[in-house]
Amino acid sequence: MLDSDGHGTWQLAPSANATIPQYPVIGDSCDGTWVPANLGAQKFFNFPDVKPGDSGEDTVSLHVGTNDAYACVDVAITKNDDVSSVQPELTAGDVANTDSIFDGELAQNLNFFAWVDNGAGTQGAIPGDNIWQAGEPPLFTNNIGPASDVLGGKSYTLANSQTGPLVASTTNYIGLAWCAGTLTTPTPGTIHCDGAGMGNIAQTDSMVASIAFRVVQSRNNSDFVCGNVAPQPGVTHSLRLENETIVADGPWTIINDGTHGYLAWTGDANEFNYTFSAQGLTPSTNYDLIYYADGWPGNNPGAFIGTFTTDGAGAIASTTANPNLNTDLPELPDGNFAVGAKIWLVRTSDYNNGTLATGPMTAWNPSQYLFEGNVYIHYDDTNHL
């Protein structure tokens, strides 16, 4: 299953009346199309049965309001699940399925290519025509790559202080092509998909990725750059923790009810220098902030970050600390290692029946916890070998 959050439209090449080989199917409804809106539950792609050689293209339109703006797109894989182990997968060299949702191979075998669909370089080309023209610049730094790379916790620049802003009251377009197999661009303006080398190792696997757009007005932001999703030394980074609805075999859904936490940290160092606060929790209750390393009970290796007590209103006052975690975030054998570290706030009574430094979880009451909102962090403990 290929399933990535976002929005877009389907368009075949000129004069085409068939798909190669199966997506999109002519006559099927297209739930990847809608009028301009703030993104929520919309999906770029939602395919239940992707086979080697399948391919497709999606076009995203970005509508700039009344102010010139800088824009970035942040992408992250939130699921790459093996789902189950069937004999063709095992014969192809796959290992037996685990309880992690990041033990699959689909993200490694789905290749993507993105470009700025501005109509440049080809006579008669139209911005947003869903066709990669020879003069339209690729978006990814390495042009083409598997989802595990090009969608794996990256930030891409659409417009910043170095390129110039997107102009007010204009519409801009991004084209996104995918291929289950080997994707190549043999000549400028040509995209080719070959599924022959994909094999059976991704059978039954499921992948989900999120796409988020960041837009800021360019006025009074003369030094704005998009940067990278991964932390850099000495730079403050942040994560919003949310209470969530558990979704089996998929990303959990954030509950927008005013209950949340805010974690800021200063990037890679020999200590995890952080500030944390929260609101909407159970009053007068002890909570622990932890690194939960998949799978259950989270001590693979996991780490204890800090402990707090809510006040009578259920809030945790802003607290600063600098523990030596003695581990990177994430750290092997974390089942989520390929994507990043999960940071949770859990009740102290549900954590640590063993060693405080690593847990593990001893009970499961998720309605009383805060989770990382499917945004996974990276931190390098510079004292940790």
For the stretch 128-176, pLDDT in tens is: 888 888 888 888 877 899 998 888 777 888 998 888 999 999 999 999 9
pLDDT for residue 358 is more than 50: yes
CB 83 within 8 A of CB 101: no
CB 243 within 8 A of CB 370: yes
The top-scoring range by mean pLDDT among 58-67, 267-276, 341-350 is 341-350
Better-scored residue on pLDDT, 366 or 336: 366
Q: What pLDDT score was predicted for residue 7?
A: 28
Element of type H or E holding 186: none
pLDDT for residue 355 is more than 80: no
Mean pLDDT over each residue of the chain, to the nearest integer: 82
Percent of all residues in the chain with a pLDDT value above 70, rounded to a whole number: 85
Q: What pLDDT score was predicted for residue 306?
A: 96
Q: What pLDDT score was predicted for residue 15?
A: 29
What's the first-to-final CA gap in the chain, in angstroms? 37
Q: What pLDDT score was predicted for residue 228?
A: 47
pTM over 0.75: no
Better-scored residue on pLDDT, 41 or 383: 383
Report, as an integer, the average pLDDT of 183-205: 88
Cβ contacts of residue 43 below 8 Å, gap of 6+? 3, 4, 5, 6, 7, 31, 32
The top-scoring range by mean pLDDT among 49-63, 128-142, 299-313, 344-358 is 299-313
Cβ contacts of residue 339 below 8 Å, gap of 6+? 76, 77, 78, 80, 102, 152, 153, 330, 376
- How many Å apart are CA 276 and CA 271, to the nearest integer? 15
CB 376 within 8 A of CB 338: no
Q: So where are the chain's domains?
A: 2-217, 237-368
Q: What pLDDT score was predicted for residue 6?
A: 30
pLDDT per position as a tens digit, 224-272? 887 644 444 444 577 889 999 988 777 788 888 889 998 888 888 899 9
Q: Which residues of 336-350 are buried (b: 16+ CB within 10 A; e: fewer)?
A: bbbbbbbbbbbbeeb
Q: Which two tokens stand for residue 145?
A: 């790559």
pLDDT for residue 377 is more than 50: yes
Question: Residue 67: which pLDDT band, with cuts at 50, 70 and 90?
Answer: very high
CB 340 within 8 A of CB 377: yes
Main-chain dihedrals φ then ψ at residue 367, nearest 5 degrees:
-65, -15
Mind spelling out the 3-state secondary structure of 95-150? Answer: CCCCCCCCCCCHHHHEEEEEEECCCCCCCCCCCCCCCCCCCCCECCCCCEEEHHHH
Q: Which two tokens stand for residue 24?
A: 């999109």
- Taking every pair of C-alpha atoms in the chain, what is the biggest distance, in angstroms? 69
